[in-house]
Amino acid sequence: MSVHQKLYEGKAKILYTTDDPEVLLTHFKDDATAFNAQKRGQIVGKGEMNCAIATQLFKLLEAAGIPTHFIDRPAPNEMLVKSVRILLVEVVVRNIAAGSLCQQTGLPVGKVLPTPLVEFYFKNDALGDPLLTRDRLLLLELATPEQLDQLTEQALQINKILTAFFDQCGITLVDFKLEFGVTSTQQLLLADEISPDTCRLWNQAETDPDRRVMDKDRFRRDLGNVESAYQQVLERVLATNTATNG
């Protein structure tokens, strides 16, 4: 499939058109940003590692009946995906309190939530991705009420699948962010990526609050060993998927 022009360049990925209008090519970059791009850097090999991890997780979710935009991984840091209109909503699912939830509510980091919490944020860098209420989301027409119900239902289902899978990897899925898109035929698909850039992942073999971190918090908080943490996630995901799928 021949690649045409650059459609969009984001913080971690570049999107290209292909000769099929329904298919786009995503190039995963090594660039890393945090705090609404106020902190910038590079995580060597991140593009390939995140592309590989996201590929495994999309395949796992597809096999469990979740429709995703994933088509193929033609190169180590490239993914072919179905073209969608991305909803301007970031869907965050939390199992354990961390990050902005703790900063905004005072809940202690590490508190296990009684049930998973689904939150919606406005995907808008200029406004700093603010937390939305259901009514604000509908007011801004970021999704229809039916789509909102579907987003919540799918997010919770995805959480169940990923939590069980990461548990098999010896990793606790603390929280994560999802993005969804709509195809030309109005089908809702899980899009973007699922990777250590978009999840909080804690190594179950470590109790120390800094040593257990296997995700982008290592970059955000200058904890060091960012590349080796991502590599460790990739190795465990591949080993567990192989063990599960034969």
Is residue 175 at the binding interface for ligand UDP, with CB under 6 A as the rule?
yes
Only segment of 109-117, 134-142, 146-154, 170-178 that touches ligand UDP (CB under 6 A) = 170-178
The packing angle between helices 226-245 and 145-168, to 10°, is: 90
78 vs 90 by CB, closer to ligand UDP:
90
Is residue 199 at the binding interface for ligand UDP, with CB under 6 A as the rule?
yes
Which of 17, 33, 42, 100 is close enough to bind ligand UDP by CB under 6 A?
A: 100
Find residue 86's DSSP bridge partners.
181
CA 226 to chain centre: 17
CA 221 to chain centre: 19
CA distance 213 to 180: 26
Closest CA to 244 of 56, 68, 69: 56
4 vs 39 by CB, closer to ligand UDP:
39
Task: Give 131: exposed, middle or buried? Use CB within 10 Å, 0-12, 13-18, 19+.
Answer: middle
Only segment of 58-66, 78-86, 95-103, 145-153 that touches ligand UDP (CB under 6 A) = 95-103
Is residue 157 at the binding interface for ligand UDP, with CB under 6 A as the rule?
no
78 vs 175 by CB, closer to ligand UDP:
175
**Footprint on this chain of ligand UDP (rule: CB under 6 A):** 90, 92, 98-101, 129, 175-177, 198-200, 216
